[in-house]
Amino acid sequence: MPRRPRPHHHHVYVVLLSQQVWNEPAFRHANPDHDITKPCVYVGMTGLDPDLRFDRHMAGVQANRFVLKYGERLLPELYEVYNPMPYEAARDMEVELGIALREKGYGVWQA
């Protein structure tokens, strides 16, 4: 019996970070052209539902330090249009979305 293709289940996601993240030297260094009128965000990719992945960050499970300390909420308006997708596409889209947001002036952190 032939294997059925698995449905795409990878996602990119964007977390709004508190403006307090700007006090972190590593974050400032990664965002020299940050427009202070734009938010600071974390861009990630996951095989989980983005809501579940955010909850895991906030619980300290495989958490990015900036999301754990400064994470406020997801910004689905910045990523929902892309999801779901195959793993390779999500891996690439995570980088592309981070670049696109940084070019728009967002402060961006990616793991």
| Domain map (residue ranges) of the chain | 11-110
pLDDT of 1 reads 59
Cα separation of 13 and 94, whole Å?
8
The pLDDT value given to residue 3: 59
- For residue 2, name the pLDDT band (cuts at 50, 70, 90): low
* Residues β-bridged to residue 50: none
Three-class SS state of 69: helix
Q: Is 73 helix (H, G, I), strand (E, B) or coil?
A: strand
The arithmetic mean of pLDDT across residues 42-67, rounded, is 97
Question: In sequence order, what are the beta bridge partners of 15?
Answer: 42, 74
Tell me the mean pLDDT in the region 54-68: 97
The pTM for the full model equals 0.93
Q: Is 85 exposed, middle or buried (0-12, 13-18, 19+ CB in 10 A)?
A: middle
